[in-house]
Amino acid sequence: MNKKTLYFLTAIAMAVGLIRAEAQGATTATVPVGMITFPLAQGTTSYMSLPLTTIETYTGSVSAFTGNSITVGDSPAPFTTNLAAPAAPYFVKFLSGSQVGRIVLITASSSSTLTVDTTDHSTGSPVLLNTSGFSVQPGDTFEIIPGDTLASIFGAGTTQNPLVLAGSANSSAADTVSLFTEVNAPAVTYYFNTTANLWEQVGVTGNANNTIIYPYSAISVMRQSSNPSTALVLGGRVSSVGAQIKVVSNGTVFASTQYASDTMLSQLQFNSNWVMGSSVATADTLSVWNPSEGHFDTYYQKPDQTWRKFPDDTTDQSSFVISAGNVTTVAKREVVNGAAAFLQSTLPYTLN
């Protein structure tokens, strides 16, 4: 079930107020579902992320593991279908243990074992599941969540799955979707080719409908000036655990908070490998997309844990709010490997 099929469920959830925890630290119902709306203004580029995930298909615990696989002890074995089909990606999200909050793509499955991609969307070097000091352990819990593709989010040009954006016979006249797939590299841009009736990468011929959009991805959408303003509405569940963000040394990673609530900088509470500093030149930085001005604003954290916005090094920005579904970038100043390659933050809301 992709996010679009949840519209009616999420509308009901919104009606009874299950989502939109405010930045002051709200309490929500346990793993609520909801929806989020992204305005797509005429003639502009909008940045967005996917803080809601589709309802899980399985929840269980690890009985055994290797560097890139986990096995469960269920009887009968639970995985009866292929969980690595190109048109229907699935992810493992760890709910407890050292890797809690980490989301990894399933690349192969048997009846009781899942093989996963430990490169985390090609961000830096692989971090294996059995990495010292960061290892998965028997008893760690996880869930399997269906993933999304270009076609499942933005449509496939069919009656059952209509286009959300405007296509064209060429990329210069079509709305485009850009995915940030590699560190320190330009985004990869796609458009819906109305002649071929499929998504294509700009400058490349071939069916890109099954291009995976990772749950923690940063996305930009360019709406042509010839097309009226519209909106993208997506539904799903909020995160029940703190997010893990994979980072790299001396590289800028496009990411998001992964939370379907407005989040103050002070609420992020990154773990100990987040570097604070007296200036932007000595600290790790978090940049946040500013839609009103059309650029990223850069923030860093002082040793006293308060936040500053570059170039103003005096005004405390700890109460600045990152809106739900916005895009961020993270730049590290130090060499990071293994467990230190992940920034984990705490939930900005309370589940009960």
First-to-final CA distance of the chain:
26
* pLDDT band (50, 70, 90) for residue 123: confident
**Model pLDDT for residues 321-346, shown as the tens digit of each residue:** 999 999 999 999 888 888 889 998 88
3-state SS of the chain: helix, strand, coil percent to 5?
Answer: 10, 35, 60
How many residues would you count in the chain? Answer: 352
Report the pLDDT averaged over residues 119-133: 91
What is the amino acid identity at position 110? Answer: S
What is the amino acid identity at position 31? Answer: V
Report the pLDDT averaged over residues 311-324: 96
| Rounded CA separation 106/72 (Å) | 14
What is the amino acid identity at position 259? Answer: Y
| Rounded CA separation 76/60 (Å) | 13
**Model pLDDT for residues 201-247, shown as the tens digit of each residue:** 999 999 999 999 999 989 999 999 999 999 999 999 999 999 999 99
| Rounded CA separation 199/192 (Å) | 4
The answer to whether 51 and 239 are in contact (CB under 8 A) is yes
Q: Residue 175 pLDDT more than 50? A: yes
| Residue 184 in tokens | 């320190």
pTM of the model as a whole: 0.89
DSSP result, 179-200: E--STTSPPEEEEEETTTTEEE
* pLDDT band (50, 70, 90) for residue 350: confident
Least confident stretch, 49-53, 63-67, 250-254: 250-254
Report the pLDDT averaged over residues 7-17: 34
Q: Give the rounded distance of the alpha carbon of 202 from its chain centre.
A: 23
Q: What DSSP state is assigned to residue 31?
A: S
* Element spanning 10, H or E: helix 7-15
Evaluate the CA torsion angle 49, 136, 330, 203 in order and state its sign.
Answer: negative
Q: What DSSP state is assigned to residue 249?
A: B
Report the pLDDT averaged over residues 95-106: 96
The answer to whether 117 and 107 are in contact (CB under 8 A) is yes
Q: Residue 352 pLDDT more than 90? A: no
Q: Residue 61 pLDDT more than 60? A: yes
| Domains of the chain from N-terminus onward | 58-146 (2.40.30), 242-351 (no CATH)
Query: What is the pLDDT, as a whole number, of residue 251?
Result: 83
